[in-house]
Amino acid sequence: MLKSFYQCTLSFIVCAFGLVYINGFLALLAACFGYGLFFSYVRAFSTKKKFWIATSWFFCVQLVHLFWLTNPTYCGLVIWFGYLFYASILAIPFGLAVLLIPKQLNRSDLVLLPLAFVLVEAVRSLYFYGLPWSSFNLHLSFTFPMQLASYFGAYFLTYLVFLNNFLFLFAIEKKSNNRWINFAFVAILPFLFGFAHIKAFENFKTNKGLDVVLIQPMLSTAEPLFGGVPKNLNQVETPYQNIQHFVGVLPEKTDVLLFPEGSFLTSLHSFAYRLDEIKALLEPLSENIAQFFPKLEAPYGVHVQENVYVNNAFILQTFANFYDADVICSIDDRVSLYDTKWANCAIFFQKDKPYERYLKQKLVPITEYIPFEWTRKIASFWGINMECIPGKHSSVFLGKANYGTSICYEKGFSSIQRAFRNGGANLFVNLSNEMWFPNTTLAKEDLIFAKYRAIENGITFLNVCNSSQTAVIDRFGRVQNQIDPLLENNKTPKILESFVALEMHPTLYTKIGDVPLLTLSILSLIITCVQRLWQHRRKEKRA
């Protein structure tokens, strides 16, 4: 009994803390045998006990993985409800999958059962608009194994995690050198394959590239939820201070200028600035900045008596004209100029051209949309009455590069980035604001999402964040340039200037996506359930 307790506890420690951004050594152990230890303990119980033990164990694992959600700085203590709810809905499918594990494995189980756990991960995409965090593949998200995602996607890394664990379970059932050799071979193979993959595709190089500037404003969230935020957390309190906050760090020249979510206090078309005052704020860029202003008419400016008022669209268009650059910013905007409906948008500006928009497709529950009618009153109680309209298309911005631009946690969804790539994108951009959960591991996990999307599609990924982990990631998921994460507590705005080569290579995943692997996973679940039912009936007949 004591041995079983130690075994269960050890498996919990390894799997809960074995994430690559927490502890790489424990992550490797979790990918090899962390879950296998737990499976060898839990499969001895009756069906009912097995389900509840597995569900409770994985619920506790998720409480560690999702601990970043408990930061109450902007969301208040009510965020704990979401934290516990999220951990619960991830734990239940895991508990159901564990019911499929027999007391004695056969060779077909080694292939079929890992596919069942791929479905456990895939099913979270059905919740709301999808909940991508706390993936099993985070145990194996090292540079070399991750290269397999360019063939079969990030889900295939989840498959490998459980294939390793079931091979371990198979090896400890019976003393057999062959079983241990198979286990070791499968554990090492992804690293060898990834090394060979990089060597094979590194030659796909080009001299074509762009000078890019990624802005990290370090601005506190302007609209706290669920009970407010201490006033001293906000460095800027007026739109003018907002613009002044980052104008001082803008470069002398660039081809691309990128602003993340949370860069501006007001929406795109809020006429919050007097023209003369904005002119004074922008003059450090050039004494002749006025010659780069767009026309003082809708949608950029409005005349009110003797004054002219302008908006953020005016400022961003000025930047595009001044630098002769592509400027992309994530900002709230009305669905149409005089509409009452809103959208979270990426806005694309070019010199002397009308701007274009991409509407965020994956909305955050409660803060961007109300998932259920009964939650509407709860949201209203905390002052959340604005719902965003989701976008329906992964539209590519065509400029000095072809930009596939996602917003916030959309980089956690392979399907969106793959649609950008198939739509002609040769550079991925993600604009996000992790300031909602400051000083947590959220930004580190989101950086791994960016690495997977770069690898899956074989192109560079620009990860542009408000507060941390702003980075240039190459097509192999390697960070090429990054703002020092140790500067996160320094609240002054920062920029990352980098030359980005538009290198890319074709990938199998871009062509086939997740459908083949998920189809196999569904078939494996059906076959496994039929097998278990047949075995149960045979057992009843013998009895």
Q: For position 70, what pLDDT does the model report?
A: 86
Q: For position 372, what pLDDT does the model report?
A: 65
Q: What is the 3-state secondary structure (H, E, C) of 112-140?
A: HHHHHHHHHHHHHHHCCCCCCCCCHHHHH
Contacts of 385 (CB under 8 A, 6+ apart): 379
Contacts of 211 (CB under 8 A, 6+ apart): 253, 254, 255, 256, 497, 498, 499, 500
Q: For position 229, what pLDDT does the model report?
A: 43
Question: Strand pairing partners for 462?
Answer: 429, 472
User: d(Cα 193, Cα 269) in Å, to the nearest integer?
Assistant: 50
Residue 139: both structure tokens together? 């145990």
- The closest of 123, 48, 137, 49 to 90, measured between CA atoms, is 123
Q: How many C-beta atoms lie closer than 10 Å to residue 70's C-beta?
A: 16
Q: For position 72, what pLDDT does the model report?
A: 76
Question: DSSP of 222-276, one letter per residue?
Answer: SS--SS---GGG-S--SHHHHHHHHHTT--S--SEEEE-TTS-SS-TT---EEHH
Q: What is the CA 34 to chain-centroid distance, rounded?
A: 25
- pTM score of the predicted model: 0.91
**Are 429 and 454 in contact, with CB atoms under 8 Å apart?**
no
Q: Kind and range of the H or E element at 495? A: strand 494-501
Helix spans in 283-422 (H) = 312-323, 374-381, 414-422
User: d(Cα 310, Cα 449) in Å, to the nearest integer?
Assistant: 37
Each residue's pLDDT expressed in tens, for the chain with a length of 543 residues: 556 778 889 999 999 999 999 999 999 999 999 999 999 999 889 989 999 999 999 999 999 999 998 887 776 677 788 889 889 999 999 999 999 999 889 899 999 999 999 999 998 877 655 788 888 999 999 999 999 999 999 999 999 999 999 999 999 988 889 999 999 999 999 999 999 999 999 887 777 899 999 999 887 754 444 444 444 445 556 778 778 888 888 888 999 999 999 888 888 888 889 999 999 999 989 889 999 999 988 889 888 888 899 999 999 999 999 999 999 999 988 877 666 678 889 999 999 999 999 999 988 876 777 666 666 666 666 556 667 788 888 899 999 999 999 999 899 999 999 999 999 999 999 999 887 787 888 889 999 999 999 999 999 999 999 888 899 999 999 999 998 876 666 678 888 999 999 999 999 999 999 999 999 999 999 998 888 888 777 777 776
Question: What are the Cα distances from residue 169, in Å, to 40, 42, 104?
Answer: 7, 12, 9
Q: For position 232, what pLDDT does the model report?
A: 42
User: d(Cα 174, Cα 389) in Å, to the nearest integer?
Assistant: 57
Q: Give me the domains of the chain, ranges plus CATH numbers.
A: 2-201+513-542 (no CATH), 209-512 (3.60.110.10)
Q: What is the 3-state secondary structure (H, E, C) of 416-441?
A: HHHHHHHCCCCEEEEEECHHHCCCCC
Q: For position 208, what pLDDT does the model report?
A: 86
The DSSP bridge pattern shows strands 427-432 and 402-407 to be parallel
Question: Strand pairing partners for 473?
Answer: 461, 479
